[in-house]
Amino acid sequence: MKLSDLGEFGFIERLRDSVPAGSGVRCGIGDDCAALELPPGELLLTTTDMLIEEVHFRRQWTDLRLLGRKSVAVNVSDVAAMGGTPRHLFLGLGIPREMEVEELDAFMAGFLESAARYGACLAGGDTCRSPGPLLISVTAEGSVPEGELVGREGARPGDAVYVSGTLGDSALALRLLQDECSPDPHLARRHHDPEARVGLGRALARAGLPTAMIDLSDGLLADLGHILEASKVGARVDEAALPLSEPFRRASERDPALLELALAGGEDYELLFTVPPDREAGISGLAREAGLPLTRVGSVGLANDGLTVQDRQGAVRRPTRGGFNHFGRK
């Protein structure tokens, strides 16, 4: 069925009928504004992200249901990075004329599936026709207890730098797709269906372990750079300590240059955080509870030190590539 056969308001009605009632939603889809409630004593967190066809994804190699899931995950990952709990989502779609209603149904099925997974609900949005690519804009709201908010500005010299999970998988999958090769299933899943570390972010904030935290969307070096800038400190990254999945490790053994993807590839959606030495003892227990590796990959230094990388031979360099930048030079 063509979207023109259903019409914008028919599509919205179809969507509203499929969205379950959300906790704290006084008034949701179908009115001019959403009216929402927050738990007492909690701060509102709000973030927004866009996914644009041919910039962030290509429909020829993207399953629409997984794209819906990813649209949620990349947004709630920002909430996780501040120790918060996702609550409400708002979805804007610019839809190409040729898209079938069944394709949108698949996208929305994945979107709502992922929203439920993270405990969030769709509370509103907008739709319009796009003369070009598929445009996806998601705003996510969450909340965090007032005393547990974690930002980017708290890192101090002597802190350890930790990262969750593994690095470089999504970037390697993208590289293979661009080369018209099929990625290993693990790599493909990490690219098409990333997991936001919401539970880990809450656990870290609740335990009061991080001095600063960020999610890895643009790459380890770029996102660590954001913490360093906000905190007015420097850092050294130990390349030998980077946590790598088995498929990535095998590929990097054949081509050592791929290690750059673990440093600057982007779209890992892991959490990067800094921890003072006297709090590091709590990391191993929290990693066991989360069922997720938490790896020390460097240390925070003085601002004058800048950001450096120590390679596997012990040589120290200043990185020439910081990570993905939409408006950077090619």
| Spatial distance between the Cα atoms of 115 and 309, rounded to a whole number of angstroms | 37
What spatial distance separates the first Cα and last Cα of the chain, rounded to whole Å?
Answer: 41
Q: Left if phi > 0, otherwise alpha if psi is -120 to 50, otherwise beta: which for 241?
A: alpha
pLDDT confidence of residue 239: 97
What is residue 277's predicted lDDT score, i.e. its pLDDT?
A: 96
**Strand pairing category for 35-36 and 25-27:** antiparallel
Q: Does position 323 have pLDDT exceeding 60, yes or no? A: no
Structure tokens at 83: 């120790």
Q: What does the pLDDT read at residue 327?
A: 42
Mean pLDDT, to the nearest integer, of 265-279? 97
Residue 255 confidence class, pLDDT cut points 50, 70, 90: very high
Contact 70, 31 (CB under 8 A): no
Q: pTM score > 0.85 for this model?
A: yes
At 29, the pLDDT band (50, 70, 90 cuts) reads confident
Quick one: pLDDT at residue 2? 62
77: Cβ contacts below 8 Å, ≥ 6 apart = 194, 196, 197, 198, 215, 217, 269
Average pLDDT over the chain reads 92
Residue 329 pLDDT exceeds 80: no
> Which distant-in-sequence residues (6+ apart) come within 8 Å of 70 by Cβ?
51, 57, 110, 114, 192, 193, 194
Buried b (16+ CB within 10 A) or exposed e, 239-267: beebbbbebbeebbeeeeebbbbbbbbbb
Question: What integer pLDDT is reported at residue 326 of this predicted model?
Answer: 47
Place of tokens 């004058």: 304
Backbone φ/ψ region at 119: left (φ over 0), alpha (ψ -120 to 50), beta:
left
d(CA 104, CA 110): 10
Q: What is the mean pLDDT of residues 58-87?
A: 96
Distance, in Å, from the CA atom of 95 to the CA atom of 134, rounded to the nearest integer, reads 5
| Closest among 270, 235, 252, 242 to 81, alpha carbons compared | 270
- Mean pLDDT, range 56-75, rounded to an integer: 95
Cβ neighbour number for residue 25 with a 10 Å cutoff = 19
Q: Residue 30: what pLDDT?
A: 76
Task: Give per-residue pLDDT as tens, 188-238.
Answer: 999 999 999 999 999 999 999 999 999 999 999 999 999 999 999 999 999
Single-letter amino acid, residue 279: R
